[in-house]
Amino acid sequence: MTTSLTDEYYAALSRGELVIQQCGECRNPIMYPKYVCPFCGSTELGWTSSTGTGTLHSFAVQRVGAPTGFEDDLPYAVGVVKLDEGVQLLARLRPNADGNWDDYHCDMRVQFDTAPDEGRHIAWFQAE
Amino acid sequence: MTLSSTDLGFNPMAGNPLEAAFVGIAEIPSGRYPNRPFIGSLVEVAVAAVRDAGMQISDIDTVLLIPCLHSPDDQADLIFSRVVEELGLHGRAKASAMLHSGGSTSDNITRTAAGLIASGQAKNVLVVQADKWGSAPVADMVDMLSGYGIPREWERPTGLTFNAVGALITQRYMAASGSTPEEMAAVCVALRQWARLNPNAMYKDKDLTVEQVLGSKMVCDPIHAMECPMLADGATAYVMTSTENARKTHDRWVRIAGSGGCVSHYSIGQENDLATLGWKRAGERAYEQAGWGPEDADIAEVYDSYAAVLTIGLEGLGLCKLHEGARLFAAGEFSPGGRLPVNTNGGLLSAGHTGVGGGTALVVEGIRQLLGRAEDARQVSDCRRAVLGGSGGTYMDSQVLLLERVDK
């Protein structure tokens, strides 16, 4: 599903970049992208590059019961990442060299992985 | 700026003859009943609740339906009016409608009904719910539970599921509180102890141990299979009227002493603190209205589709200390015979997750306990005050009802 909001965001992910929406009036960073600034109501919205660094608020490793289309991804991990810019998002987490997520823990530093996902418009993160 | 009664901290309906009163309840057993028809279940509990209220069907002027989740088709089918027709209320009922906020629907629909009664828009309101979640095709339900309530542009592409939502909350709660896997499992065990006393519970016949929970397969770290709510068929209903009407025919009813709520997010990735959610704010508003506090509660019935969802709710509502919820469950504090009976029907985790109805079953159980109508082994003695909590979607809102027994 694409909209005027997803076009820019998805295109950036495809280039290996993570972008954040930014209000042209109050300058606040916005995530997820919105049609109207949730801080001041402005519709003058632009985009800014994220440093891609932040902390892992929480994470989960899905082992069984994947939705249709995700069966071959199992196991996979999702995490809530709080970016240093002050906004947050749900991302996928890269497994470590052993193919698991055993060394992930809440509040650890993580960074955006610039290798784009081949098939999906999602942000990947890994240990910083 | 206009101040609402909630901001002013009082209950504007206290002592008002049009204050809402719960006077009837009904429930059929939760579990897997593939041959039990959906519409038939709605009608069965509707009739039972009206009879329980000492009314005739024709006394009902408003029907409020709690949505089903087993089939988008059934949900979109305007079945609230179907119920009116099935009950022979067509041509007589003033209004029928559905209200939806996921697992907190019962709290919001109760407030809506109370408002209709208080404003003279409705005399006798029937709230009714049925779901066939336990009999629905599992693959369809897995897809549904990774779709609805999850933002399609931003989070569905990650493969997020509702078990993962529960796991994200649990992971954060365990990190923040230092709760062990054994303590988290103990929450499920305590709920099973209550379910064993509830003839309507899905797991009324099966004991559960911490070892069994932790020995079950890992579904989504840190959640094991037996820490996931089992989808169930079920149906519940209740009837609300005005206090002045309740007084004519009843010696005892239940009133709403206070209510509060907080919508904390829509997307799980946008929740600022997964270990607290919106409960503190919701609870403060409700207690302020009621004029009593968590220490005055005789029971609590709080949404529990995962153990951490329940412990976070109890902590935010001040029913135990922050970060102590799971440990206190392990110590038996919330079990039958413990300090504070919690989820006395077995909760969603052991009575069965009947979709939106899991929250309705908790509301019905709260009313039942206050009316003194539970089975002897389960009835909490001299139960006067109940704290009810519901939460919808990805625990996007925290809704609180504080209920009180009234004796004429």
Q: pLDDT tens digits for B226-239?
A: 999 999 999 999 99
- What residue has token string 């109508």? B373
Concatenate the DSSP letters of all residues of B373-387 into one string.
Answer: -S-TTTPPTT--EEE
* B113: nearest Cα among B213, B197, B264, B237: B237
Contacts of A38 in chain B (CB under 8 A): none
Can you give the residue ranges of every domain in chain A? 4-127
**pLDDT over 80 (residue B5):** no
C-alpha count within 13 angstroms, C-beta hemisphere, residue B368: 25
pLDDT by residue (tens digit) across B76-115?
Answer: 999 999 999 999 999 999 999 999 999 999 999 999 999 9
pLDDT by residue (tens digit) across B291-315?
Answer: 999 999 999 999 999 999 999 999 9
pLDDT by residue (tens digit) across B21-75?
Answer: 999 999 999 999 999 999 999 999 999 999 999 999 999 999 999 999 999 899 9
Q: Note the pLDDT of residue B192.
A: 98
* B253: nearest Cα among B5, B63, B17, B20: B20
Residue of A80, A104, A124 best to disrupt the B interface, most CBs of B under 10 A: A80
Contact B57, B89 (CB under 8 A): yes
Hey, is the C-beta of B265 within 8 angstroms of any chain A C-beta? no
Rounded to an integer, what distance in angstroms lies between the CA atom of residue B65 and that of residue B79? 8
- The contacts of residue A15 (CB under 8 Å, 6+ apart) are A116
B379 within domain boundaries = no
Calculate mean pLDDT across residues B263-273: 98
* A52: nearest Cα among A82, A18, A21, A81: A18
Contact A58, B171 (CB under 8 A): yes
**Is B159's CB within 8 Å of A121's CB?**
no
C-alpha count within 13 angstroms, C-beta hemisphere, residue B225: 9
Left if phi > 0, otherwise alpha if psi is -120 to 50, otherwise beta: which for B168?
Answer: alpha
Rounded to an integer, what distance in angstroms lies between the CA atom of residue A113 and that of residue B68? 41
**pLDDT over 70 (residue B123):** yes
B373 within domain boundaries = no
Token digits of residue B216:
């079950």
Contacts of A61 in chain B (CB under 8 A): 167, 220-221
pLDDT by residue (tens digit) across B140-167?
Answer: 888 888 889 999 999 999 999 999 999 9
Contacts of A35 in chain B (CB under 8 A): none
Calculate mean pLDDT across residues B122-134: 97
**Is pTM beyond 0.95 here?**
yes
Q: Which residue of B has its CA nearest to A68?
A: B143
| B147-183 CB burial, b ≥16 within 10 A, e <16 | bebbbebbbbbbbbbbbbbbbbbbbbbbbbbebebeb
Concatenate the DSSP letters of all residues of B250-296 into one string.
Answer: -SEEEEEEEEEEEE--SSGGG-S-TTTTTHHHHHHHHHHHHT--GGG
Confidence of residue B174 (pLDDT cuts 50, 70, 90): very high
Confidence of residue B7 (pLDDT cuts 50, 70, 90): low
B347 within domain boundaries = no
Q: Note the pLDDT of residue B4.
A: 55
* B252: nearest Cα among B112, B367, B381, B122: B367
Confidence of residue B1 (pLDDT cuts 50, 70, 90): very low
B341 within domain boundaries = no
**Is A63's CB within 8 Å of B219's CB?**
yes
Q: Note the pLDDT of residue B140.
A: 87
**pLDDT over 60 (residue A93):** yes
How many domains, chain B?
A: 1
Contacts of B221 in chain A (CB under 8 A): 60-61, 63, 101
**pLDDT over 50 (residue B248):** yes
B259 within domain boundaries = no
| B99-118 CB burial, b ≥16 within 10 A, e <16 | bebbbbbbbbbbbbbbebbb
Q: Note the pLDDT of residue B12.
A: 84
- CATH classification of the domain holding B108: 3.40.47.10
Contact B234, B203 (CB under 8 A): no
Mean pLDDT of chain B: 96
B383 within domain boundaries = no
- Options 1.25.40.10, 1.20.200.10, 3.30.540.10, 2.40.50.840; CATH of A4-127: 2.40.50.840
AA identity, residue B175: A
Strand order, beta sheet including B252-263: B95-98, B62-66, B125-132, B233-242, B20-31, B252-263, B397-407, B385-390, B299-302
Q: Note the pLDDT of residue B326.
A: 98
In chain A, the percentage of residues whose pLDDT exceeds 90 is 95
**Is B161's CB within 8 Å of A65's CB?**
yes
Whether the ipTM is more than 0.90: the answer is: yes
Hey, is the C-beta of A119 within 8 angstroms of any chain B C-beta? no
* B45: nearest Cα among B135, B130, B113, B110: B130
Rounded to an integer, what distance in angstroms lies between the CA atom of residue B152 and that of residue B374? 43
In chain B, the percentage of residues whose pLDDT exceeds 70 is 98
Hey, is the C-beta of B146 within 8 angstroms of any chain A C-beta? yes
Task: Label the pairing between strands B95-98 and B62-66.
Answer: parallel
Calculate mean pLDDT across residues A38-58: 97
Residue B61's domain spans which residues? 5-136+233-249
Hey, is the C-beta of B155 within 8 angstroms of any chain A C-beta? yes
**Is B220's CB within 8 Å of A6's CB?**
no
Q: Note the pLDDT of residue B138.
A: 87
What are the DSSP E strand ranges found in A2-128? 19-23, 29-30, 45-49, 53-62, 76-83, 88-93, 109-112, 124-127
B64 within domain boundaries = yes
Rounded to an integer, what distance in angstroms lies between the CA atom of residue B368 and that of residue B379? 9
Calculate mean pLDDT across residues A38-49: 97
Rounded to an integer, what distance in angstroms lies between the CA atom of residue B269 and that of residue B317? 23
Which ranges of B105-199 would DSSP assign to H, the alpha helix? 105-118, 138-144, 162-177, 181-195
Q: Note the pLDDT of residue A1.
A: 54
AA identity, residue A86: G
Hey, is the C-beta of B270 within 8 angstroms of any chain A C-beta? yes
B195 within domain boundaries = no
